[in-house]
């Protein structure tokens, strides 16, 4: 019998830049620590776009990540049920999530940088910004991802999952 691991959703505005970057970086950090945690990303708004921003994918590649390109997705009501934690990239995303989240699941919501020991508490949106801005965003997300993974380990969420294929 396979034990269900933790399920995490990372959310930005359009699922074009920050949340896909966070999904890839978190998956990498989770694999390194051999944790049983599933990660997915979504956006609060429907943008009409189908794939993440090329600059986001390039920034990930520049830092040695190997992004798998997943289609853009919007947050659904089912996400609040299926995920154990839902992390918003900024306060606007968090407010949007709080507006649509059923009361019994609001305790799952937090800012992505909530565990990071940083002055910044929000990940700024790099959409339509320079490649350098995307690279800085990737580094900020990386620090948040490391803090989250460390936090999960401290909570005892450390079961190895040999079948983490994503």
How long is the chain?
166
From the candidates 12, 27, 53, 90, which is the catalytic residue?
Answer: 12
CA trace torsion 76, 80, 83, 89 (10° rounding):
80
Q: Is residue 40 annotated as a catalytic residue, yes or no? A: no
From the candidates 28, 79, 90, 125, which is the catalytic residue?
Answer: 125
From the candidates 17, 18, 28, 96, which is the catalytic residue?
Answer: 18
Beta-bridge partners for 37: 6
Q: Any residues with CB less than 8 A from the CB of 120 and at least 6 apart, and which?
A: 113, 140
Q: Is residue 150 annotated as a catalytic residue, yes or no? A: no
Q: Is residue 125 annotated as a catalytic residue, yes or no? A: yes
Active-site residue set: 12, 18, 125
């Amino acid at each position: 019998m396979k034990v269900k691991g933790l399920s995490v959703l990372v959310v930005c505005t359009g699922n074009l830049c920050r949340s896909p970057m966070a999904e890839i970086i978190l998956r990498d950090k989770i694999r390194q620590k051999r944790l049983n945690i599933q990660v997915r990303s979504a956006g609060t708004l429907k943008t009409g776009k189908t794939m993440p921003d090329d600059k986001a994918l390039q920034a990930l590649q520049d830092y040695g990540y190997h992004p798998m390109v997943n289609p853009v997705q919007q947050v659904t009501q089912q996400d609040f049920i299926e995920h154990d934690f839902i992390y918003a990239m900024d306060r606007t995303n968090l407010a949007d999530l709080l507006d649509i989240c059923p009361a019994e699941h609001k305790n799952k919501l937090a800012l992505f940088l909530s565990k990071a020991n940083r002055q910044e508490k929000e990940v700024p949106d790099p959409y339509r910004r320079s490649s350098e801005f995307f690279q800085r965003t990737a580094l900020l997300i990386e620090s948040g991802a490391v803090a989250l993974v460390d936090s999960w380990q401290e909570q005892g969420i450390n079961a190895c999952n040999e079948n983490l294929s994503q």
